[in-house]
Amino acid sequence: MRRLRAPGLAVLAITFVLAAGAVSAAAEPVILAFGDSLTAGLGVAPDEAYPALLQARVRRSGYPHRVVNAGVSGDTTAGALRRVDWVLRSQPEIVIVALGANDGLRGQSPATTRENLEAIVHRFQGSGARVLLAGMRLPPNYGDELAREFAALFPAVAKRTGAPLMPFLLDGVAANPRLNQRDGIHPNAAGHRVIAERLWPHVERLLRARAD
C-alpha cells in the first residue's frame, strides 16, 4: 500500500483501461475494482492481481462483464473520494470498494475514514451501481483498541449504506508468509488467488441479483 514514486503512472494506466473499454461499455457491463495497492497488484504481474483473476472467473461462469482494475497504490479514502467521478466514466454496474488500509497505517481517524467510505459508497450507489464493501484490519502492533475501532468502521458503513460486506479483504492471506511478499503487507501471486477465490461468492451474488 506504499505510494508509487510516480503515482501519475498508475492513474495514466487506468485512463487507458477506461478509454479502451468506452466503445464496448454498452455490450460489456463493468465490474470496477476500486482500491489501493492491494487492488492495483503492487509487486505482482497484472494478470496475477485479483481483479484479473476475477475477470477469468466471471468469464468461466458465463457472465459478459468486464473487470476494470481501478486500484492506485498509496491511495487513501480521501484520495479515492476525489476520483470517484472520474472512474464513473466506465459506467460500472458493480463496484468493489477495497479502501482504508492506508488510512489505518497512517494513523488517520477511523471516524474520518468512515465518513469518506460512506461518501464513496453513496456516490457509486447514486450512479445506479451496486457496491460490495471489503473490510480491512490493522496489524496487531497498532494496539487492540484502535484495531477494534478500525475494524468496526466497515460493518458500520455497510449498515448505513446497505452495501453488502466482505468482512476482510485479506481473509486467509494476512500474516501468512507463504501468501505475502517480503514486506509482509502485499500479497504475492498465490495470495491474490486466495483473495479472488474468497471474493467471488460475494461478487457472484451481485451478478445473480442482476440476472434475476
What's the pTM value of the predicted model, to 2 decimals? 0.89
Per the annotation, the verdict on 186 as an active-site residue is yes
Per the annotation, the verdict on 103 as an active-site residue is no
CA–centroid distance for 41 within its chain: 11
Catalytic residue, chosen from 36, 37, 73, 90, is 37
Q: How far apart are CA 197 and CA 192, in angstroms?
A: 9
Please give the radius of gyration of the chain, using alpha carbons only, rounded to the nearest integer: 16
Say if CB 166 and CB 137 are below 8 A apart. Answer: no
Catalytic residue, chosen from 36, 75, 90, 186, is 186
Average pLDDT value for the chain: 90
Backbone φ and ψ for 137, nearest 5 degrees, come out as: -140, 155
Which architecture, in CATH terms, is 9-211? 3-Layer(aba) Sandwich (3.40)
Place of cell 464493501: 133
Render pLDDT for 84-102 as a digit per residue (tens, 0 to 9).
999 999 999 999 999 999 9
Render pLDDT for 125-175 as a digit per residue (tens, 0 to 9).
999 999 999 999 998 888 899 999 999 999 999 999 999 999 999 999 999
Catalytic residue, chosen from 24, 47, 109, 183, is 183
For the chain, the 3-state helix, strand and coil shares in percent, each to the nearest 5, are 55, 15, 35
Say if CB 156 and CB 167 are below 8 A apart. Answer: no
Q: How far apart are CA 69 and CA 32, in angstroms?
A: 6
Domain assignments of the chain as residue spans, ordered by start: 9-211
Render pLDDT for 7-18 as a digit per residue (tens, 0 to 9).
454 544 454 445
Per the annotation, the verdict on 109 as an active-site residue is no
Confidence (pLDDT) at 199: 98
